[in-house]
Structure 1
C-alpha cells in the first residue's frame, strides 16, 4: 500500500500542497441489485485506487493497489464482484480483472481476450459480459463472453465505437458508433447480444452531412422494461429523450431549462434524475415521466460533477424530489464533498481537509466567433497581476465552477488565473462545440487572444507577465500559441501536449486517430496542409520565450516520440526550456507526482518571469533569440 511520505507536520505544509494531499473520494457507484454494496475511488493512501464499501456494515476495503494507481472499475449487478481495468504504467492498454467484493485473489475476467484499449463494458445479471476493445490492427471489436465459454466477436469496425449498455434482462445491447466517419457525432445501434443481429438503428448524423450526435444514458432499470434513455442534439444542445428500440417510438421530455441537460433513471423507472449544466455551473432536478413535471433538488451554488439516485427503503418514504439522491459537489472556493439531497455528507474520508480557495468571477468577452465565457480567480491586492491562462483539455470539455488544485496553487503564489471556454468547448450549445473544424488549434487561440486583450485592458493582467499553460489539448494549444502568437506570452507551460501533430497521429491510440480525422477532415496524407497549419512544430522557429514541457513516457494519447521531436527543435535554436519525463501515461494518479509536477511548473515560472515594472526580474532569466 502506497503511503504519503511527506514527514512535515501539517502546519508546515503549504495550502496549495494540502489541496492535493487531502483525501478525496469519488461518488460511490452502487450495485444495481445490491445497493448497499458500493465502489469508489480515493487517494487516501497517496495514490488513487478503488475501494469497496459495504454500507450495511460500514466496512471499507482497498480493492486495488498498484504503483501508478487504478480508477477504472465497476460492480457486477449482484454486487458479488469488482471488475477493474489493468494496464501497464498508465498506457491504457490491458485487460479486465475481477475479484470478490469481500476480498480475494484477482483473476483475468475474460480469458481468451488479448490486451487492448478499453471500449466499454457491460455485465449482465446472468454473468454475461460484453467487452469493447480497440486496437490499431482491428479498430473496434465487441465480444460476448458467457460464463465458462470462449468469448465470441459480435461487432467489428475500423471507426471508433463502444459498448453503450445492456437491457435489464440482457436481451438487448446498445452500441454507440461512428461508422459514418464523424467521431464527434455518434450513432446508435441496438443488437441482440447472442449474435450481434440488428434490432434498431438511430442516426442523427445523416451520413455525416448533418452534424448531430447521440449518446447513451442507459436502459430502464426495471425487469421487462426495454426503454432506452439517450441524449440528442436536435435543438442545438444536449437533451434527453426516451427511445423504445423494439417499437421505434420516442418520447420527448418537457424540460424547459437553458443549457445542456443530461439524465439518469430513478430505480423505479418512473422518474429521471436531471443533471442540468449552464454557464459553467450545474444543478439537479427530478422529472416525473407520467406527469411531465419538473421539481428542483436543492444543491449549493457551484457544480455537481456526478449524481445518482439510490433506492429508498420503504420505511424512509420517497415523497420528496431528492429522496435517495447522492451527488459529488464542489465550487472553485469549496473542496468537493459527497452529499445527500437530504443535506448530510454521504462519505467523508479521514485525514486533513483541503483548504478553501477563492471563488471564480465570470467574464464575458466578445470574440471573433461570438461571446466567450471565461472564469477568473484573483489573489488579494490590486492588479495588474502576473496571470496564468490555464487552458483546458479535451477539446470537447469545459472549465466550470469546480474545485481545482492547480489554479488555486497559482492564486496562492500571487497569480491571477484565467480559464477560457473557447470555441470547441462543450456547455455552450452544439454550434459552439462544432465550430472546431479544419482550422484546429488556430480557432481556439483566436478566442484565447480575445480574452487576453480583455484581461490586459481591464487592468487584471500584467502584459509583461502572461503565462500560457495547460495539459493535453491545453498543452497542445500552449505550444501552438507560443509559435503563432510569439509576442503575446512571457513563457509557456505545456503538460502531455501534442507537439508534432503528424507524428502524434501515427503513434496515438486508434480512437484518437478517428477524432483527428474528423477535426481536420482526413489523415495527414489526405490533408497535409491542415495538419501542417495546426501543428506546433511548424512554428517552433518563431518561439521566443522559455518553455517548460512535461510528458509521460507511456502516454498513448500524446505519445512521447512527437514531444521529443519538438524538444530537439528547441535545442537547435537554444530556446530556454526544461523537459520533465515521468514513468506514467497521460497524467499521474500518484499524489506526490502531481505535486512535484506543479512545483516544477511554478518554480520555472518564478525563475523566468520578469519582475513587476521598475524592478529587476527573478534569477536565471535568459533571453531567447529572436
Structure 2
C-alpha cells in the first residue's frame, strides 16, 4: 500500500503508492485517463456590454487556466499560466480586459490582477495595488467602479475603487461579509453580510456608491438567508433579483430598493430555483434543480408566464442569457461528457464551442435509489459497471462498492458527467452517491438538519442507504469503501471511527481530521461557518466540536485509510491532518499519506491523474482486487 515514508512532526508517515498504470489493457488505461485529460471548457462568461468578448476556464494546456474568446473571429487566447492553475476571474463590462485572482500555490490568499483582453500570460498588473491581500469575498466590476470584498483574520472589508481616485474602504466588520451586486448605473451596491453572527444565512444592505448612505435593508434571519443575484440590467432600474427561502426551499423575489417593495415570484416547480435577468430586464432565465437533475425556463416578469426551454434530461451546470434572446448553456448527464450549447428563441440548439482534440469517452448512466431513512426519504444515485447490468431483481449481484461522499456539505450529487465516478466504474466498482441531510436541492430543512449533530446526521443517512442496498442484494457488505474529499473526507474519517464494522477501507481527501486544530488554522470564513454549524466557537461549544472530530474516534478505526493532503490548504490545514496521522501511527494502524504541494485540491491534470490512480490502487489493494 505504501512507497517511501513522508516525514511528519515526530514521525515518518508511510507514503501511498502511485502506480504507473491501473489497467494491463492499453485501451482501458487510455480511456480512464482521457476522461481527465480531454480538453474541457467551462461556460464562457461574456462581457456585459460587448457581445463579442468572453472569458472561460479550460484545461487545454494541462491545467485549468483562464482564456480570452473573441466570438466574432473565433480567436481563443490563453490569458494565465501559473504552476497551480487559475480559475477565479471575470471580464470587464466593456470587454477591455479581465480581473483574475492571484494567490500563492493554492492558498486562496492574495490580490486581484488586471489583464488587457487578448494578451497572454505575464501581461497582467495589480488591479488594486493599494489594497492589502486577503481571501476574496465578492467582486463587482463596473465601467467606472470596482468593488472588491476580502476577509482575513480581522474580519471582512470592502474596497471601492473609482478610476482616477484613491481606493477607499467602504465597509469593515468582524463578521463575514462580501460584495453582492452593483447597479447598472453604478450608483448602488449590495453588501451581503452576517452581522447577526450566522454566516449560513446572510442578510442584504443596499448602499450608495457616492456617500455610503444606506438605501435599504432586507433580512430574513434567523434561520433563513438571502442571496443578491443581480440588479436589473437597465440604467436607473432599482430592481434587485434576490434568492430567498421563505417557503422552505430556494426561490426568487424582486426587491425594488427605491420604494422598498418586495415581490415573491410564484414559479410552480418542485425543488430549488435560481436565475438571472435577460439583458432587457423584462424576463428571467430560470434554472430549476430537482432530484439531481435540472431544467431551464424563461419567466416573463409582467405576465408571470413560465416557458419551458428545450434541453436534454440531465444537468445544466450553468446558463447565461444573450442580447439576441438566445442562451448559452453547459449540459451533461452521467453518460455524456459536457457540451457547450446555444439555444435560440426559434428552438434551434447548436454547438457553441468545441474543445480542441478528441472528446472525453462516455460513461454509464446513473439510477435513482430512494431509501426511507431516519429523517425522511433519501435520494441516492447508483452507477454500475457495464458488465453488471441494470439494478433489478433479476440481475442483482453484490459488487464491491464505493460510497462516494460529496463535499460542501451544502452541495449535492447529480446526474452529471464525472471522470471520478467513471474511473471507479472502469476499475470494477459500483458507485453510490448519497444526497444525505445537509445536501442542497431537497429543501431548506433537509439542508440544515445536519446541525442537530454535525457529521452523525449525514452518516445515519449513509448507513440507511448502505443497509438498504445490502438487503436488495446490490452491495457486498465485506467489500465497501467509503471515499470523499473536503466535507466528504471529514465524513469518511468520522465514518471509519464511528462505524468501524461497516467499511473495509477508506479514502479521505483534504479532510477535517482534528476539528479543534482545524478551527485554529483555517481561513476566517470557514471559522464563521463552523461557528454557525455548531452554534458557537470551540471555546463556547467544546464538547460538540470534540464529539464531531474524527480525532476523538481514531481509537476505533480498523480499516486501512488513505489520506490526501494539500500543503497550502487554507480550508483543511495540514497541521490538523498530521495530528490525526500521529494518532494512527501511535496505534500502528494501517494508513498511507499522499501529500501534494497545492491547496484544497489541484487544477493540474497530471496531479489529478496521480491522485485518482493512487486512490483506486489503494482501495483495490485493501480489498484484495488484483
TM-score range, shorter chain: over 0.9
Tell me how far apart the structure 2 counterparts of residues 97 and 472 of structure 1 sit (CA, whole Å): 28
User: What SS class does the counterpart of residue 335 from structure 1 fall into?
Assistant: strand
Q: Are residue 593 (structure 1) and residue 583 (structure 2) matched? A: no
CA distance in 1, matches of 2:611, 2:478: 25
Are the equivalent residues in 2 in contact too, given 1:438–1:530 (CA < 8 A)?
A: no
Q: What are the equivalent positions in structure 2 for 1:10-49 lying under 5 Å apart?
A: 13-49=29-65
* Residues in 2 aligned to 1:345 and 1:335: alpha-carbon distance in whole angstroms: 13
Q: Does 1:570 align with 2:584?
A: yes
Deviation sequence 1:499-532 (CA, Å, 0-9, x none): 0000001100100101000101111110000001
From 353, 372, 376, the equivalent of 1:370 is 376
Of 225, 247, 251, the match for 1:239: 251
Q: Is the 8 A contact 1:125 1:169 kept in 2?
A: no
Deviation, 1:455, is 1.5
Superposed CA RMSD in Å reads 1.5
8 Å CA contact retained: 1:285, 1:295? yes
Deviation at 1:485? Answer: 0.3
Distance verdict in 2 for CA 1:10–1:65, change over 3 Å: farther
Task: Determine if the alignment matches structure 1 residue 120 to structure 2 residue 132.
Answer: no
Secondary structure, counterpart of 2:572 in structure 1 = coil
Secondary structure of residue in 2 paired with 1:344: strand
Tell me, in whole angstroms, the C-alpha distance in 2 between the residues paired with 1:448 and 1:9: 34
Give the distance between the partners of 1:513 and 1:119, measured in 2 at CA.
15
1:428 aligns with 2:442: yes
1: distance between equivalents of 2:412 and 2:102?
Answer: 29
SS at 1:449's partner residue?
A: helix
Q: Which residue of 1 aligns with 2:341?
A: 339
- The corresponding residue for 1:196 is 212
Q: Residue 461 of structure 2 corresponds to which residue in structure 1?
A: 447
Alpha-carbon shift at residue 11 of structure 1 (Å): 5.1
Question: Do the aligned residues in 2 keep the contact of 1:26 with 1:328 (CA within 8 Å)?
Answer: yes
Matching residue of 1:50: 66
Residue pairs, 1:402-413, within 5 angstroms: 402-413=416-427
Partner Cα distance (2:161, 2:119) in 1:
23
TM alignment of 1:131-170, pairs within 5 A: 131-136=148-153, 138-170=154-186
- For the pair 1:360 / 2:380, whether they are aligned, the reply is no
What is aligned with 1:109?
A: 127
* Superposition map of 1:27-426 within 5 A: 27-103=43-119, 105-126=123-144, 128-136=145-153, 138-205=154-221, 208=222, 211-312=223-324, 323-341=325-343, 342-379=348-385, 380-381=387-388, 383-426=397-440
Separation in structure 2 between the aligned mates of residue 9 and residue 86 of structure 1, nearest angstrom: 41
Q: Which residues in structure 2 correspond to 1:479-494 (within 5 Å)?
A: 479-494=493-508
Give the CA deviation at 1:10: 9.0
Alpha-carbon distance in structure 2 between the residues aligned to 1:179 and 1:399: 32
Kept after mapping to 2: 8 A contact 1:111/1:150: no
Q: Which runs of 5+ in 2 are unaligned?
A: 1-19, 389-395
8 A contact 1:388–1:467 mirrored in 2: yes
User: Shift of residue 606 of structure 1?
Assistant: 1.0
Q: How far apart are residue 610 of structure 1 and its match?
A: 4.0
| 1:305–1:329 contact (8 Å) kept in structure 2 | yes
Q: Distance in 2 between matches of 1:10 and 1:608?
A: 24
Task: Say which SS state the counterpart of residue 466 (structure 1) adopts.
Answer: strand
- 2:562 aligned with 1:548: yes
Aligned ranges for residues 460-499 of structure 1 at < 5 Å?
Answer: 460-499=474-513
Structure-2 separation of matches of 1:252 and 1:600: 49
Give the SS at the match of 1:435: helix
Residue-pair matches, total: 591
CA distance in 1, matches of 2:497, 2:454: 15
2:57 is paired with a residue of what secondary structure? strand
Which SS does the other structure have where 1:511 is aligned?
Answer: helix
| C-alpha distance in structure 2 between counterparts of 1:111 and 1:147, whole Å | 13
Matched with 1:607 is: 621
Structure 1 gap ranges (5+): 313-322, 612-617, 619-626
Q: How far apart in 2 are the matches of 1:289 and 1:371?
A: 35
Q: Give 1:605 deviation, angstroms.
A: 0.8
CA distance in 2, matches of 1:183, 1:451: 31
SS of 1:78's equivalent? Answer: coil
Whole-angstrom CA distance in 2 between matches of 1:93 and 1:35: 32
Structure 1 match to 2:391: none
C-alpha offsets along residues 435-474 of structure 1, whole Å, 9 cap, x if unaligned?
Answer: 1214100110000000010111111110000000100000
- Secondary structure in structure 2 of the residue aligned to 1:513: helix
Q: Secondary structure at the match of 1:103?
A: coil
CA distance in 2, matches of 1:594, 1:249: 49
Q: Deviation at 1:57? A: 1.1
Counterpart of 1:320 in structure 2 is none
Q: Distance in 1 between matches of 2:326 and 2:594?
A: 46
Measured against aligned partners, the alpha-carbon deviations of 1:3-51 in whole angstroms (never above 9, x if no partner) come to: xx99x99957432111001100011011111021000000011100000
Contact 1:508 1:556 in 2 (8 A): yes
Provide the C-alpha distance between the structure 2 equivalents of 1:98 and 1:548, rounded to a whole number of angstroms.
40
Aligned twin of 1:536: 550
Aligned counterparts of 2:415 and 2:454: Cα–Cα separation in 1: 26
Secondary structure, aligned partner of 2:531: helix
TM-score w.r.t. the length of structure 1 is: 0.93
Cα shift at 1:149: 2.5
State how far apart, in whole Å, the 1-side matches of 2:51 and 2:516 are: 48
Instruction: Indicate the residue corresponding to 1:615 in structure 2.
Output: none
Is the CA contact (8 Å cut-off) linking 1:465 and 1:610 kept in structure 2?
no
Residues 79, 118 of structure 2: 8 Å contact kept: no
